[in-house]
Amino acid sequence: MLHRVIALVALALTATMALAQPMVSAADPRAAAAGVEMLKKGGTAADAAVAMMLALGVIEPGHSGIGGGGFLVYHDAKTGKISSYDAREAAPAAADGRWFYGADGKPLGIRQAIPGGRSVGVPGELRLMETAHAEHGKLAWSALFAPATRLARNGWAITPRFNNFLTKMPATGFFNAWAKSYLYNADGTAKAVGTVVKNPELAALYGNIARHGPSYFYVGPPAQTLVATINNAAHNPSKMTTGDLASYKVQERAPVCGTYRTYRICGMGPPASGTVIVLMILKQLERFDMGALGKGSPVAWHLFAESSRLAYADRDTWLADPDYVQVPVQGLLAADYLASRSALISPDSTMAAIAPGMPAGAPALKRAELQPEHGTSSFTAVDRWGNVAEGTVTIESVFGSGQSMNGIFLNNQLTDFNLVPEKDGVLTANRVEGGKRPRSSMSPMIVYDAAGKVRIAIGAAGGSTIIAQVAKALVGVIDWHMSAQDAISMGLLYAPTPGGVAEKDTQLEPMLPALAALGEHLSVAPLGLKANAIEWQSGAWAGAADPRSEGVSMGIDGKVVKPAMAALQRDRPSE
């Protein structure tokens, strides 16, 4: 009888969630509007997600686009199933451990390796759109392209944030003539805020893909253009073939799930490292009463930093493409292993040294240095049926490799591999291999409450800070009972290694003396954070977007929620 009552309650909750207003959250209001347009037409969360990805490729060309890749997790409201799709870029078959070595036989530095052709992986984002639409979409494929094609054809205005990226580019010399004329004035200065720029090449490409399907990009003329572009690059020419593009497939992988307090958290597994490492950070904190400490406690933030350092050390050692390396996911998330790692954390002092652990099932591998990551965009969608899509897409660095064709920029995702394949004579997990997909920090995640209903879907952009952003927001929502908006707005203590960064102009700055007394040696700096979320709150969906970005949440009633910078949490620490 009790089971029947529980089932009836769950059914009622599902019906209520399905009646709630559909909603999206994205890193740019024009992308959010594209998603809402699909929802208004009766589209699913998958349809909205595809439309947002396409639009982001137009108005955030420095961060994402079909020249890159990404990950998507999807909750099917009818079945309760969560699916996760790996569209990470792949290395050409010709790649090997010395892919990023120069003619002198020495490994390239990261700044040498990024520009040119060799850093470009086989793009996966368009195949991700195809898969999500085929499995979860309702609208016609061609309809999903309409908003983005309008933006590319009719033009879009350069925003302050985008202008800032253009102005701060260390060098534009690796852009071709088209890219320079598209985004820069004749004198080399960035086009001003408000300037409307058009991309007819991309509009034409989108039109052909809308009519002929994704294979037009992977086996048609664009494939030949892409290969010729990067293989004939003036800097670091590649050895990609049209066969590398034609054989690319999205991998539907089993989601990684774990618990924190009474919540179940699910997301993308390797080669994405985010879900595993977020879960490790949270589980290592679970023995501490984070709720009682509160968001204004220096001790709470010290604990968060210490747990982050331990988890990132394991990330840099064990996480990689599971099709090429034995990744000990179960060992890393095992209760006894996490308890042993958590035992290293003290509320009164900072660890003198950080080393990776030895989880069950771990192969003989060496820890590599933390690889820098930069670009990326995230988005969330919930439809009228209660389906939820959470995705993160990227071309890696700002403007990727700097190579462009047909109005798109090509990724530099292969520099997410370890540029040197071994350390101290032992191979590293994330070394370059032909066909392999590089490790990623992207962390699209869906969180369920004790009744099994979606509590929050969340993701972020910002390279390796993504993991810390999502973990921080979940501590805020779960332990400190904050709204998703307030949790995202809260300042971040980012500590992937000894030391760390306390985000400037946030609630963390007044805590610095107390944190120093605990042994924390922190610098203070702004962090390029950019998170998005949708949560179930008080019987309705509520969107959240990062006030540091130009992102918004938007419902199909047209209401736009754009958090102001004043939303950044600057509370004084507790006494």
Q: Which residues are catalytic?
A: 376
Q: DSSP alpha helices (H): ranges in 41-93?
A: 45-59
Residues 6+ apart with CB under 8 A from 69: 87, 88, 89, 121, 123, 124, 125, 128, 393, 394, 411, 413
Let me know: does 406 contact 429? Beta carbons within 8 Å. Answer: no
Residues 6+ apart with CB under 8 A from 401: 114, 115, 116, 117, 119, 120, 174, 230, 409, 410, 411, 412
d(CA 371, CA 366): 14
Tell me, rounded to whole angstroms, the distance of Cα 451 from its chain centroid: 27
3-state secondary structure of 394: strand
User: Which burial class, exposed, middle or buried, applies to 245 when counting CB atoms under 10 A from its CB (0-12, 13-18, 19+)?
Assistant: buried
Q: Residue 123 gets which letter from DSSP?
A: P
d(CA 379, CA 331): 31
d(CA 244, CA 124): 11
Task: Give the start-end residues of each E strand in 195-249.
Answer: 196-197
Place of tokens 């890159």: 68
Residues 6+ apart with CB under 8 A from 227: 240, 241, 242, 244, 245
3-state secondary structure of 149: helix
Pairing of strands 501-503, 523-525: parallel
